[in-house]
């Protein structure tokens, strides 16, 4: 399970990196094309959707490394078992929240798909991007569940 | 429970969870904001709000500027420009007393002109400056302090991530914010330099002068500094003319940064990968804090707390500068106990409407707030810059915090100058942006 989640996180990271590179190239090309008077409508939309993928794809990996900013000036002084318990509670709460969020994003994507909603300029069906963001949050939820069990199960210092 | 009371309870619960659980600030804001919103309206409304708000902020065109500005900084960082900048500055200032400390601050300022992060600046400058100052037998208090204080310029000098986030959150123009920031940045940099001069006057043995470089050496060191200047110029020019969006300016700068550093042979495929990976992680962190703050603010707004506080304070009929110092007091305190960006976003829903109601210019308020949060990053117990400097240099944390303390008056004085001359320090330049 752990290896599976690790592997998927890395795959998503790769997707995020590609999305970031495309973002740079597309926005740069758009500036160039405007300077050359060959306007290319609709880049704003694609840039926005790519931007959503960039962040969503980095979610599981960032959590795996526990990179998110935390205020631990008090809790770092607590004894190790207490710290582990607190980490487990935190992971559980976060997993619940992001589980709900994933579910809501899927519903939201369904709504858009069924309503046949398209982006304004390009008339692009954008629900796949919403599902993409949902995948990022779904895997984040899995990572949190995994980290909760790690915090409960192992001895010694909890993973930072 | 009445609306405002629910809001106050929400803030209290959030702070308790933040301090007593091991949960990231972004997640707490999301969680409390979501549950609070459900209590204030209905669970169904909260579910829908969560999905649509998160998708809305993730796919917001304006927010794509965050990963792109982070990417420019990371590329420059991975290409190793800090080294070149340091040596170039050293050639010009190294022969003065405390010259290496001044070099550190000026090189940090130059690096900050392309990087929006203080921790990246602290890490790179520690790696370059601390060994150099050790060789010249600089006192630890001068060594550590100059790196930590210099690094804080990373969040201040444009492109600054804090200003970008402030602009996105309040709907202010990022171009105006960046231009309004130029004079405050210069003032703070000069005051920090003056602090070094002051310290070395009182303790001449803390920072002995180095050898003088020849003019030939000085000019030969310049080309790398020029690259940074070009990138900075491109970003600022693009934002100034208003021909491109902030996202496009950042994208073009990233593209140019890759091209220039590859041409100079400084950027390998591996380093580029490192820069992209770091960008993904950092922007994910920043983005989640922004998303958390947005949801939390949504909750506070439905409780009516921000407008309630604003009404209450205006009923007190205090002079507006007193209220402003009270707000700043909160930021200093907040900056001491939690990450500056996180605190900024937690507090903006309350303090921003208040400042606007008091009649302060939003662009000017952004500069003051950024200065204060900048200062928070060198203050104990969570001043992040000091942690990085201590971690990178092996100088004890206590010494680093003590050394950084010398520079606090420089920040306070900058804030006072901004308050006394709001037009000449901020508005004069920000008004020129279209």
B276 has a chain A CB within 8 A of its CB: yes
Virtual torsion, Cα B252, B257, B262, B264, nearest 10 deg: 130
Please name the residue that has the structure tokens 């309206």: B41
Length of chain A: 160
Confidence (pLDDT) at B276: 93
Q: CB pairs below 8 Å between A and B: how many? A: 174
> In this predicted complex, what is the ipTM?
0.90
CA–CA separation, B265 and B360 (whole Å)? 48
* Domains identified in chain B, total number: 1
Is residue B13 included in any domain, yes or no?
Answer: no
Q: Decide if B272 touches A, using CB distance below 8 A.
A: no
Which pLDDT belongs to residue A159?
Answer: 47
Contact call for residues B26 and B18 (beta carbons, < 8 A)? no
Q: How far apart are CA B366 and CA B411, in angstroms?
A: 15
Residue B76 belongs to a domain? yes
How far does B286 lie from chain A, in Å, by closest CA? 9
Select the residue of A20, A59, A137 nearest B67 (Cβ to Cβ).
A20
Contact A27, A19 (CB under 8 A): no
pLDDT in tens, chain B (434 residues): 678 888 889 888 988 888 888 888 889 989 999 999 999 999 999 998 998 889 988 888 888 888 888 898 888 888 888 778 888 888 888 888 888 899 889 888 887 777 766 777 787 788 778 888 888 888 989 989 999 998 888 778 888 888 888 898 888 988 899 999 999 999 999 999 999 999 999 998 888 888 888 888 888 888 777 888 888 888 888 877 777 888 888 899 999 999 999 998 888 999 999 999 988 988 888 888 888 888 888 888 888 887 787 778 778 778 888 888 888 888 887 766 666 677 787 788 788 888 888 889 999 999 998 888 888 888 876 677 888 788 777 888 888 889 999 999 999 999 999 999 988 888 888 888 87
Count Cβ atoms within 10 A of the Cβ of residue B392 and give its class: 0-12 exposed, 13-18 middle, 19 or more buried: middle
Which of A19, A22, A27, A30 best probes binding to B when mutated, by most B CB atoms within 10 angstroms? A27
Query: What's the pLDDT tens digit per position in A123-160?
Result: 888 888 999 999 999 999 999 999 999 888 764 444 44
HSE of B165 in the Cβ direction (CA atoms, 13 Å)? 31
* Dihedral class, residue B129 (left if φ above 0, else alpha if ψ from -120 to 50, else beta): alpha
Residues 18-47 of A with CB under 8 A from B: 20-21, 23-28, 30-31, 34, 44, 47
- Residue B257 domain boundaries: 64-430
Beta bridge partners of B24: A70
Q: Where in B195-280 does DSSP place strands (E)?
A: none
- The rounded distance, in Å, linking the Cα atoms of B78 and B83 is 11
- Ranges under pLDDT 70 in chain A: 154-160
**Closest chain B residue by Cα to residue A16:** B280
Query: CA-nearest residue of chain B to A104?
Result: B51
Q: How far apart, in whole angstroms, are the C-alpha atoms of residue A68 and residue B261?
A: 30
Interface contact flag, B68 A23, Cβ < 8 Å: yes
Which residues in B lie closer than 8 A to residue A130 (C-beta atoms)? 55
pTM of the predicted model as reported, rounded to 2 decimal places? 0.84
Instruction: Report if residue B176 sits inside a domain.
Output: yes
pLDDT for res B372: 87
DSSP classification of residue B348? H
CA dist B213 and B211 (Å) reads: 6
* Contact map slice: A 89-108 vs B, CB within 8 A: 89-90, 93-94, 97, 100-101, 104-105, 107-108
Q: How close A40 comes to chain B (CA, Å)?
A: 14
- Residue A154 distance to chain B (closest CA, Å): 17
Tell me how far the alpha carbon of residue B219 is from its chain's centroid.
31
Among A22, A24, A158, pick the best mutation site for testing chain B contact (most B Cβ within 10 A): A24
Query: What pLDDT shows up at residue B116?
Result: 66
Question: Is A62–B281 a contact, with Cβ atoms under 8 angstroms apart?
Answer: yes
Record the tokens describing residue B75, joined without a space.
Answer: 């590329």
Neighbours of B2 (CB within 10 A): 10
Instruction: Say if the Cβ atoms of B19 and A73 lie within 8 Å.
Output: yes
Using a CB–CB cutoff of 8 Å, tell me whether A64 touches chain B: no
User: A132 and A52 in contact (C-beta within 8 Å)?
Assistant: yes
Residues of chain B numbered 239-258 and touching chain A (CB < 8 Å): 243-244, 247-248, 251-252, 254-255
Determine, for residues B280 and A87 on separate chains, whether the beta-carbon distance falls below 8 Å. no
Task: Give the span between the Cα atoms of A102 and B322, in whole angstroms.
Answer: 45
- Judge whether B56 is closer than 8 Å to chain A, CB to CB: no
Residue B396, helix vs strand vs coil? coil
Chain B touched by A62 (CB under 8 Å): yes
Nearest CA to A93 out of B386, B31, B292, B431 is that of B31
Interface of B with A in 360-399 (CB under 8 A): 381-382
Q: Does A73 touch chain B (CB under 8 A)?
A: yes
Check A31 against B252: CB less than 8 A apart: yes
For A157, counting Cβ atoms within 10 Å of its Cβ (0-12 exposed, 13-18 middle, 19+ buried), the class is exposed
Residues B307, B327: Cα–Cα separation, whole Å: 16
Non-local CB neighbours of A21 within 8 Å, separated by 6+ positions:
B276
pLDDT of residue A160: 43
Query: What long-range pairs does B242-245 form, CB within 8 A, spacing at least 24?
Result: B242/B175, B242/B433, B242/B434, B243/A34, B244/A31, B245/B61, B245/B65
Q: Is some CB atom of chain B closer than 8 A to the CB atom of A11?
A: no
Q: Is A3 exposed, middle or buried (0-12, 13-18, 19+ CB in 10 A)?
A: exposed
Helix and strand numbers, DSSP H then E, in chain B: 24, 0
Q: Please give the Cα distance from B427 to B183 (Å, whole number).
A: 10
Distance CA(B197)–CA(B192), nearest Å, equals 9
Instruction: Give the per-residue pLDDT at A156.
Output: 46
Q: In the structure encoding, which two tokens stand for residue B18, read together?
A: 């933040």
Conformation bin of residue B117: beta by default, left when phi > 0, alpha when psi is -120 to 50: beta
CB atoms B30 and A97 under 8 Å? yes
- The residues in B 35-54 lying below 8 A from A, measured between CB atoms, are 47-48, 50-52, 54
- Chain B CB within 8 Å of residue A59 CB: yes
Optimal mutation site among A51, A75, A112, A147, interface B, most CBs of chain B within 10 A: A51
Would residue B299 count as lying in a domain? yes
Is residue B30 situated within a structural domain?
no
Q: Which residues of B touch A67 (CB under 8 A)?
A: 281, 284-285
Q: Is residue B388 part of a domain?
A: yes
Q: Shortest Cα distance from B237 to chain A (angstroms)? A: 14
């Amino acid at each position: 399970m752990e290896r599976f989640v690790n592997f998927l996180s890395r795959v998503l990271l790769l997707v995020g990196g590609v999305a970031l590179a495309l973002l740079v190239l597309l926005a740069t090309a758009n500036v160039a094309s405007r300077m050359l008077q060959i306007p290319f409508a609709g880049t704003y939309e694609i840039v926005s959707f790519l931007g959503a993928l960039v962040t969503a794809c980095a979610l599981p990996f960032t959590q795996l490394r526990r990179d998110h900013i935390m205020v631990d000036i008090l809790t770092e002084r607590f004894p190790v078992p207490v710290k582990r318990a607190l980490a487990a509670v935190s992971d559980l709460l976060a997993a619940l929240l992001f589980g709900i969020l994933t579910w809501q994003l899927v519903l939201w994507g369904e709504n858009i798909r069924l309503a046949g909603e398209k982006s304004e300029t390009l008339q692009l069906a954008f629900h796949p991007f919403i599902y993409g963001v949902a995948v990022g949050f779904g895997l984040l939820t899995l990572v949190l569940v995994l980290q909760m069990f790690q915090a409960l199960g192992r001895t010694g210092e909890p993973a930072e | 429970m009445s609306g405002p009371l629910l809001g106050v309870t929400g803030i209290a619960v959030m702070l308790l969870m933040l301090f007593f659980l091991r949960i990231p600030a972004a997640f707490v804001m999301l969680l409390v904001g979501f549950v609070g919103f459900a209590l204030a309206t209905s669970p169904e409304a909260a579910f829908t709000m969560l999905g649509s708000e998160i998708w809305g902020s993730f796919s917001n065109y304006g927010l794509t500027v965050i990963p792109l500005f982070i990417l420019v900084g990371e590329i420059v960082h991975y290409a190793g420009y800090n080294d070149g900048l340091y040596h170039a500055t050293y050639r010009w200032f190294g022969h003065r007393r405390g010259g290496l400390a001044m070099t550190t601050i000026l090189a940090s300022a130059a690096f900050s002109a392309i990087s929006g992060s203080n921790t990246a600046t602290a890490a790179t400058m520690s790696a370059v400056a601390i060994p150099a100052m050790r060789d010249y037998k600089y006192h630890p208090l001068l060594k550590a302090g100059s790196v930590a204080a210099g690094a804080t310029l990373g969040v201040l000098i444009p492109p600054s991530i804090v200003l970008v986030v402030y602009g996105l959150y309040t709907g202010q123009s990022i171009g105006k914010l960046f231009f309004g920031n130029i004079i405050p940045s210069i003032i703070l940099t000069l005051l920090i330099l003056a602090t070094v001069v002051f310290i070395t006057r009182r303790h001449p043995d803390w920072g002995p002068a180095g050898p003088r470089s020849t003019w030939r050496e000085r000019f030969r060191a310049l080309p790398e500094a020029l690259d940074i200047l070009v990138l900075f110029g491109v970003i600022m020019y693009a934002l100034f003319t208003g021909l491109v969006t902030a996202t496009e300016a950042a994208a073009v700068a990233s593209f140019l940064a890759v091209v220039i550093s590859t041409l100079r042979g400084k950027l390998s495929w591996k380093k580029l990968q490192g820069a992209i990976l770091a960008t993904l992680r950092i922007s994910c962190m920043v983005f989640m804090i922004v998303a958390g703050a947005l949801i939390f603010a949504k909750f506070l707004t439905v409780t009516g707390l921000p407008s309630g506080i604003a009404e209450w304070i205006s009923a007190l009929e205090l002079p507006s500068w007193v209220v402003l110092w009270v707000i700043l007091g909160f930021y200093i305190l907040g900056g001491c106990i939690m990450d500056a960006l996180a605190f900024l976003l937690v507090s903006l829903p309350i303090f921003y409407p208040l400042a606007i109601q008091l009649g302060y210019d939003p662009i000017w308020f952004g500069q003051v707030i950024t200065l204060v949060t900048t200062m928070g990053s060198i203050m104990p117990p969570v001043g992040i810059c000091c942690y990085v400097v201590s971690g990178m240099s092996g100088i004890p944390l206590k010494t680093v915090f003590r050394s950084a303390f010398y520079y606090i008056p420089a920040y306070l004085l900058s804030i006072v100058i901004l308050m006394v001359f709001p037009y000449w320090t901020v508005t004069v330049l920000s008004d020129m942006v279209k």
